[in-house]
């Protein structure tokens, strides 16, 4: 299956999305923060990113979901800063501290090509919400130099539907987090009380664009939606609500990675609320919710986890 953006490049859709996204940067409303700063003039809002994307690191990643990793890894590009303010972020130095350096479109295109030439199965944009225009600006350059592997939009889930529509027919694989069900929790832990509403809207739009995850004969993802949900201490993520929504309003065939690796980072260290890892019972309970909701396409690394005896 050819990558979607190749057709978009040929029929002019990519150029139109790029033009519109750059216009939005003049009064930036790309994400739900609606900062309205002129990023083309290097003004910076909540995401602290101006005219050019800041890249923290890039390379083949073997810790992602099985359909992305295959044998040669997922070609991850970690963008610095974020439009969320998660106090427990596992990449706190990147998302809050801004480790990395600015890259212009030509260099970002070269990074994509390096990852493809290294054998990576896809280009995996990590935390891309605030740099959609910069990605779209680099993409035609990369295509003209031979880019052809699928694009993965690996997001925290705090996206605007109108911005996602800029990516319709361009992104092959959407991989959003669905972090929280309760607005009070998302307000406290991620500085975004509207997060649950925005995430629901975003997942609906992503699924409309690409549908359920589809793989080639070797089990490598080609197109579709893959959702991540991190189980948090004390049920703070609202796992029951999140998984029920996915099953009832997205698709029971959604590929879901229910993640167990929460550990205190950043401001969470020492917190009475989220200053501990989750228990095996908390994770087993989450998997049982998925089973009850009929969500059977779980990331394979967790299929053996149903160990807790009621």
Give 92's pLDDT tier (boundaries 50, 70, 90). Answer: confident
Flag whether 49 is in a domain: yes
Flag whether 248 is in a domain: yes
248 pLDDT higher than 90 = yes
Nearest to 138 by CA among 21, 1, 48: 21
Flag whether 289 is in a domain: yes
Structure tokens at 4: 């979607």
Tens digit of each residue's pLDDT (9 = 90 or more) over 34-77: 999 999 999 999 999 999 999 999 999 999 999 999 999 999 99
Residue 116, SS3 per DSSP: helix
Poorest-confidence range of 74-88, 234-248, 264-278?
264-278
154 pLDDT higher than 50 = yes
Flag whether 145 is in a domain: yes
146 pLDDT higher than 60 = yes
Flag whether 18 is in a domain: yes
Residue 302, SS3 per DSSP: helix
Q: Residue 256 sits in which domain range?
A: 4-302
284 pLDDT higher than 60 = yes
Give 291's pLDDT tier (boundaries 50, 70, 90). Answer: very high
Q: Give me the pLDDT at residue 302, please.
A: 52
Give 97's pLDDT tier (boundaries 50, 70, 90). Answer: confident
Indicate the average pLDDT of the chain.
95
Q: Mean of the pLDDT values across residues 18-29? A: 97
1 pLDDT higher than 90 = no
Q: Mean of the pLDDT values across residues 114-131? A: 98
303 pLDDT higher than 80 = no
**190: enclosing H helix or E strand:** helix 183-190
List all residues 6 or more positions away from 217 whose beta carbon is below 8 Å from its beta carbon: none
Q: Give me the pLDDT at residue 150, please.
A: 98
Q: Mean of the pLDDT values across residues 143-162? A: 98
d(CA 224, CA 227): 10
Tens digit of each residue's pLDDT (9 = 90 or more) over 167-217: 999 999 999 999 999 999 999 999 999 999 999 999 999 999 999 999 999
Poorest-confidence range of 23-37, 41-55, 80-94, 138-152?
80-94
Flag whether 308 is in a domain: no
Flag whether 213 is in a domain: yes
Rounded percentage of the chain residues whose pLDDT exceeds 90: 89
pTM: 0.95
CATH of the domain at 176: 3.20.20.70
Q: Give me the pLDDT at residue 295, please.
A: 97
| Residue with tokens 């350059």, as numbered in its chain | 141
Poorest-confidence range of 59-63, 87-91, 99-103?
87-91
Flag whether 310 is in a domain: no
Q: Provide the domain count of the chain.
A: 1
One-character DSSP codes across 227-265: EEEE--GGGTT-HHHHHHHIIIII-TT-EEEEE------
304 pLDDT higher than 80 = no
96 pLDDT higher than 60 = yes
Q: Give me the pLDDT at residue 122, please.
A: 98
């Amino acid at each position: 299956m050819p990558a979607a953006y190749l057709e978009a490049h040929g029929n002019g859709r990519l150029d139109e999305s790029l033009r519109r996204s750059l216009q939005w940067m003049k009064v930036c409303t790309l994400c739900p923060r609606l900062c309205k700063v002129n990023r083309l003039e290097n003004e910076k809002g909540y995401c602290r990113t101006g005219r050019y994307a800041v890249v923290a690191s890039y390379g083949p990643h073997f810790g992602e979901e099985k359909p992305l990793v295959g044998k040669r890894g997922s070609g991850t590009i970690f963008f610095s800063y974020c439009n969320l303010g998660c106090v427990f972020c596992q990449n706190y130095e990147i998302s809050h501290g801004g480790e990395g350096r600015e890259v212009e479109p030509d260099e970002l295109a070269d990074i994509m090509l390096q990852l493809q030439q290294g054998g990576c199965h896809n280009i995996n944009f990590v935390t891309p919400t605030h740099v959609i225009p910069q990605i779209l600006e680099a993409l035609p350059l990369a295509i003209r130099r031979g880019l052809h592997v699928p694009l993965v939009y690996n997001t925290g889930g705090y996206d605007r539907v109108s911005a996602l529509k800029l990516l319709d027919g361009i992104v092959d694989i959407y991989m959003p987090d669905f972090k929280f069900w309760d607005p009070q929790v998302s307000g406290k832990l991620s500085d975004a009380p509207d997060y649950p509403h925005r995430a629901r809207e975003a997942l609906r739009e992503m699924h409309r664009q690409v549908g359920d995850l589809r793989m080639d004969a070797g089990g490598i993802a080609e197109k579709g939606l893959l959702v991540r949900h991190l189980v948090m201490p004390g049920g703070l993520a609202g796992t029951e609500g999140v998984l029920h929504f996915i099953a009832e309003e997205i698709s029971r065939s959604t590929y879901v990675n229910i993640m167990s690796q929460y550990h205190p980072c950043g401001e969470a260290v020492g917190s009475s609320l989220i200053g501990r890892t989750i228990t095996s019972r908390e994770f087993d309970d989450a998997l049982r919710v998925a089973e009850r909701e009929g969500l059977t396409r779980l990331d394979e690394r967790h299929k053996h986890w149903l160990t807790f005896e009621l």
